Amino acid sequence: MDPLEIMSNVERAFPYFQPVFSADEHTIMGYEILGRYEGENGVISLGPFFLDEEIPDEFRLEVDNYILSKALEMSLDHNITAWFFINRDANLLMMDEGESLLELLLRFCEKGLKMNQVVLEISEKHFKGDFEQLFHLIQYYKTYGIKIAIDNIGGDSDQWERLAKVSPDILKVDLQHLRIEAGNTTFHNILYSLSMLARKIGSTLLFENIEVDYQLHFAWKNGGRYYQGFYLHKPSRDFLGRDILKEKLKTKCRNYIEHEKRHLKAVYTLTQQLQREINEQINDLRKHSDSLDSLLISLAKNVEEKFFRLYICDENGFQLTDNLVRKKYQWEVFPDFKGKNWSWRPYFLENIIRMQNKNSGLLSDSYSDIETGETIRTFSYPMGGNQYLFMDLSYEFLYEQDGILY
């Protein structure tokens, strides 16, 4: 792509609009403004032009503002009230301290644009300048009613710290890697953690690059309020009808709800089944066991097809027994775990209180076991007398249960 050709024929540049759909109304809530160019061989994307750091910043900024102006003119001509996602590289934005963009937006506000329609989508992951200055600019933009979206979210703890400080309105999560990492629990856990972060800092999740159904399902299940991608609709030169996918998305939503309800019912059924089985076992074994360790060994012989690790703690998380671990169809005793404290684990004390109040067992969410790396669940059971039994369900058993593993 010849930058001089583009600069000499900037009038051939024009906007494309990729719709963003909402999870609550199933309608188009906004458009991301993209750049296209009418070349000799047809329409091409200007993405490589904007990402090429060898092209002078002034060139890229000029073309960017030209396309934005054309897009906003079209929105006013068609009386579009949707949100507009405006991409800006943080390095380019800070080149003139954001003045040219703000001046452009204010000029269109005089013609009817509302600032609360504007979502400034910033990619700051590779920002080379002073983050404090970028933060100040973002806060200044917010005073005008401009919404802030952060793009290219990753597992970088430094970036997450910056996100908490900026408190963006929207976090954009790229699901392109989900097709490659579909079975990678680490990738799933990072996205789950990100959804928790968004909830804590008051941000909304927008999942982009949705190309197949299971990515849309994943976005729905993981708290995505907004969706974007070729599976829903490709970018187009014109605006679309607001309700273009309403019926399709409503049907998809119903399917996801039914799937999730089946999953929750399966989890509830298994929990009740384990509660009955363990209750019967414990009541019987208590009569013939002279210690918690001997009770645990007897219990292991009766439940080995389901569990691979057993231990007992008190209500404060101090382990009262050895660890009993099944390896290659044999149970091994690990005495070094007795006396260790597990209250630091997420939800440990919360689950103890829940068991005390309900006087029944709990089945955890799926998670990655620290020692084996496999996806497991833990069944926790109140034994009475300030004693709580923890039983880790094996991956093999979970895999055989319909709708239980994930």
In this predicted model, what pLDDT tens digit does every residue of 202-231 receive, in sequence order?
899 999 999 999 999 999 998 899 999 999
- pLDDT tier, 329 (very low <50, low <70, confident <90, very high otherwise): confident
CA distances from 107 to 62, 84, 265, 368 (A): 16, 16, 55, 53
DSSP 3-state of 287: coil
Q: Give the pLDDT confidence score for residue 282 in this predicted structure.
A: 93
Number of neighbouring beta carbons within 10 Å of residue 290: 7
- The tokens for 24 are 């609550």
Does 126 have pLDDT greater than 90?
no
Rounded to the nearest integer, the mean pLDDT of the chain is: 91
* Contact criterion met (CB below 8 Å) for 73 and 105: no
Average pLDDT over residues 101-115: 97
229-247 tens-digit pLDDT? 999 999 999 999 999 999 9
- pLDDT value at residue 27: 98
Question: Above 60 in pLDDT, residue 157?
Answer: no
Question: Rounded distance, CA 346 to CA 327, Å?
Answer: 27
Would you state the structure tokens that stand for residue 302, as one six-digit string?
């009766």
Residues facing 325 on adjacent strands: 309, 332
Distance between CA 329 and CA 151 in Å, rounded? 48
| pLDDT tens-digit series, residues 17-26 | 999 999 999 9
pLDDT score at 151 = 85
Once rounded to an integer, what is the mean pLDDT over residues 45-72? Answer: 93
pLDDT of 199 reads 85
Task: Write down all domains in the chain, each with its CATH number in brackets.
Answer: 3-228 (3.20.20.450), 259-400 (3.30.450.20)
Output the DSSP codes for 178-232. GGTSTT-HHHHHHHHHHHHHHHHHT-EEEEE---SHHHHHHHHHTTEEEE-STTT
